Amino acid sequence: MRLSDLRGRSVAVWGTGREGRAAVTAVAAHGPAELVAVDDSANFLSLDWSGALAEVAPLVVGEEGFARLAAADVVVRSPGVPQTHPWLVELRRRGVTVTGGSALWMADHAARTVGVTGSKGKSTTSSLISHLLTAVGQPNVFGGNIGVPLLDLPDAELYVLELSSYQCSDLTDSPRVAVVTALFPEHLDAHGGEQEYYRDKLNLLAHGPETVVVNGTDERLAAELGDRPAVLVGRPDSFHVAPGPDGTPWFHAADRPLFPRTTLPLVGAHNAGNLCVALAVLDALGVDVPARSDEVATAVAAFQGLAHRLREIANSSGLTFVDDSLATNPHAAMHAIDAYEGRPLTVIVGGNDRGLDYTPLREHLTEREITVIGIPDSGPRIVETLAGLPRVRTELADDLVAAVRLARKLTPAEGVVLLSPAAPSYGRFRNFEHRSEVFAQAVRETA
């Protein structure tokens, strides 16, 4: 379904955040017979709905919202509406057409798009792809789950998108190049179970992409991929890291050394893997990476990383504060912890509790000396999961500001205070950017 298909039809946009606002604006421009906005979860975090938005799409809140959704020809749901929402289950049972803004946009732009998803690594990888493409003379527009709704993107010849499982689930068109960085259980409460999550995530690949690029070292991803043809990155016949001419780790294209691992300024083995995936995407788009390795290396060295992914915050106390607000699951937090191995470390965990299994985090910290501070809502459950580990000190704090204050007291000089929540931000913050803002402000206020 395309935006143009909504002309003359009754449309309800479900959700009033960034995605919902973008959908209302885009749908209104195509002349629907009726357009309303529905918000069933209005609270203190809700954004103002007034002016031009309210004129073209009156806002319906609370229980009345379901009647308006059920009466619509088409419901455009925001990504934050879970697959398990009782209203959504009932709408689909009744045969109401449900789509998303990302699906509407992709129907018109798939042939010009690189789409990146994954249970971890999708933000950094998509950002790397966009950065490197620009450096080699392929300008592009970058957006998606990273902060710019697809329906707000300007016209361009090439797009690079970071896509969440929620955005992928409604797609009926795959991008030209479909990328998956990793796969492990996440968002299970929103998708209905582990297999349902994998199904929705891999829907990115289900509609005829020209090229599929995946992390070939991820065993679960390889198993779920099945017999789909794909470029398997991280293996010796593709882009990978191995000893180079000087004996240190180098990035390679098959058996050809490209440039040293130290060229990439991002810490952690996972980030080296992210770059390998990005290089494979450049190759899929016709860039001769080995022939242009010096040019690519210069661009890699200039990459700044993301504002909310292992971003260090300047502080004069001697401690290093690190914002990793984008780490919304235990596996992402584990990679962040590994990036600071060898330094005294305090990690702040907790956020929206989606019922994730934190046993992998416990197993990862079995032999590690570390302080873990849990904050609501899931922090206490994470701390309980870590109980009994002999070298893990656990504490609880009432909120993020209190956790930063406590971390200053508990972390030795020259140590690291890492916000890597292993949980989403929703419920107490508008989004991961808001959580980062509160963390940075807390660092300043507690100095």
Distance CA 59, CA 38 (A): 6
Is 169 annotated among the ligand-binding residues? Answer: no
Is 121 annotated as ligand-binding?
yes
- Does 119 appear as a known binding residue? yes
Q: Is the preceding omega at residue 288 within 30 degrees of 0, hence cis? A: no
| DSSP letter assigned to residue 46 | P
446 has binding-site annotation:
no
Inter-residue contact 113 to 176 (CB < 8 Å):
yes
- Beta strands at 392-396 and 239-243: parallel, antiparallel or unpaired: unpaired
Tokens of 286: 């016709």
Is 409 annotated to bind a ligand? Reply is: no
CA atoms of 279 and 281, how far apart (whole Å): 5
Burial label for 2, CB within 10 Å (0-12, 13-18, 19+), is middle
What's the rounded Cα separation, in Å, for the pair 348 and 346? Answer: 7
CA distances from 359 to 191, 331, 367, 370, 423 (A): 20, 10, 14, 16, 14
User: Which residues lie below 8 Å from residue 342, measured CB to CB, with a gap of 6+?
Assistant: none
- Distances in Å between the Cα of 137 and the Cα atoms of 178, 264, 266, 290, 296 are 21, 20, 23, 16, 11
- Residues 299-309, buried b or exposed e (16+ Cβ, 10 A)? bbeebebbebb
273 is known to lie in a ligand binding site: no
Q: Is 388 annotated as a binding residue?
A: no
Closest by CA position to 12, among listed 79, 57, 53: 57
Contact of 321 with 343, CB cutoff 8 Å: no
Checking DSSP bridges between strand 320-323 and strand 416-419, what pairing results, if any? parallel
Q: Is 37 helix (H, G, I), strand (E, B) or coil?
A: strand
Of 292, 260, 255, nearest in space to 275 by CA: 260
What are the binding residues for ATP?
A: 118-124
What are the binding residues?
A: 118-124
